[in-house]
């Protein structure tokens, strides 16, 4: 066998063995973790076209979002695989002027809590930097205020959907880490819950959510 070819094959073999070993031995991205998250939240109907009339209505609501997350990661065949869950809150809301209402109508909408459970998979770009993709189930709650300027009625809407995203996580040391992430969510089903506790039949929706978040966490 050509000596140069033998050296190349030997180096490739060593690299193939070393990559899983590096991921397996790197404790910076394995084990249980907890994190604090904050960022920007944009919620809007599935259509990207705003209502074009005299009021030029922007259908999106956006503001800060914040919350906490828990997860567990482990090395598998040279990659990092994990499960995770989050509880987020959002300050996004509409701000319509309802002073002209004489009959009941939707006054304002507020985004509330945002739940997520899913999985992620990533690879080490450097020994201290993980690049990953994620996906899973999300449930959001929004509050809808109906008013006739005499009586206000608050109704909660529970929305079920799916989420995908991608991010970068950097280990400061074996315990402390920073992360930045983008995620897209789409909600396809919902149900109303009246103040009395009565729930409606489930109905179809099409609602998009874009979030840009950063986080700081601790790995135990």
Per residue in 182-194, pLDDT (tens digit) is: 999 999 988 877 6
β-pair type (176-193, 61-76):
unpaired
Structure tokens at 220: 């135990």
The whole-model pTM stands at 0.76
- The position carrying tokens 């509880």 is 87
Tally of domains within the chain: 1
Predicted confidence (pLDDT) at residue 199 exceeds the cutoff of 50: yes
Average pLDDT, the chain: 80
157 within 8 A of 145, measured Cβ to Cβ: no
Of 71 and 151, which is predicted with more confidence?
71
> pLDDT at position 90, please?
94
Distance CA 65, CA 1 (A): 61
For 13, list phi and psi in degrees, rounded to 5: -65, -40
> pLDDT at position 178, please?
98
CATH code for position 126 = 2.40.160.20
Q: 3-state DSSP call for residue 135?
A: strand
Of 146 and 202, which is predicted with more confidence?
202
Rounded (to 5) percent helix, strand, coil in the chain:
10, 65, 25
Per residue in 128-167, pLDDT (tens digit) is: 999 999 999 999 998 877 666 666 667 788 999 999 999 9
> pLDDT at position 96, please?
62
Which residues on neighbouring strands pair with residue 48, listed in sequence order?
A: none
Which residues on neighbouring strands pair with residue 130, listed in sequence order?
A: 124, 169
Of 71 and 206, which is predicted with more confidence?
71
76 within 8 A of 108, measured Cβ to Cβ: no
Instruction: Give the least confident one: 83-87, 95-99, 158-162, 174-178.
Output: 95-99
> pLDDT at position 200, please?
74
Beta carbons within 8 Å of 127's beta carbon, 6+ residues apart: 22, 26, 28
What is the pLDDT averaged over residues 63-87? 95
SS (H, E, C) 162-182: EEEEEEEEEECCCCEEEEEEE
Predicted confidence (pLDDT) at residue 34 exceeds the cutoff of 70: yes
CB burial of residue 205 (10 Å; 0-12, 13-18, 19+) = middle
Domain that residue 28 falls in: 3-219
> pLDDT at position 190, please?
86
């Amino acid at each position: 066998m050509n000596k140069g070819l033998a050296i190349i094959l030997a180096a490739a073999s060593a690299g193939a063995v070393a990559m899983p070993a590096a991921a397996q031995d790197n404790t910076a991205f394995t084990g249980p973790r907890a994190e604090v998250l904050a960022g920007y939240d944009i919620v809007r109907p599935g259509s990207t076209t705003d209502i074009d009339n005299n009021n030029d209505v922007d259908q999106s609501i956006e503001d800060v979002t914040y919350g906490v997350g828990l997860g567990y990661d482990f090395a598998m065949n040279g990659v990092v695989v994990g499960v995770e869950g989050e509880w987020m809150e959002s300050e996004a809301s509409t701000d319509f002027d309802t002073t002209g209402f004489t009959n009941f109508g939707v006054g304002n909408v507020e985004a509330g809590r945002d739940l997520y459970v899913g999985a992620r998979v990533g690879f080490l770009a450097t020994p201290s930097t993980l690049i990953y993709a994620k996906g899973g189930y999300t449930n959001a709650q929004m509050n809808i205020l109906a008013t006739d300027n005499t009586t206000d009625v608050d109704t909660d809407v529970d929305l079920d959907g799916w989420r995908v995203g991608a991010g970068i996580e950097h280990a400061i040391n074996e315990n402390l880490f920073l992360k930045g992430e983008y995620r897209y969510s789409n909600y396809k089903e919902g149900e109303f819950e009246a103040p009395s506790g009565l729930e409606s039949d489930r109905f179809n929706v099409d609602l998009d959510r874009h979030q840009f978040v950063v986080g700081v966490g601790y790995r135990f």
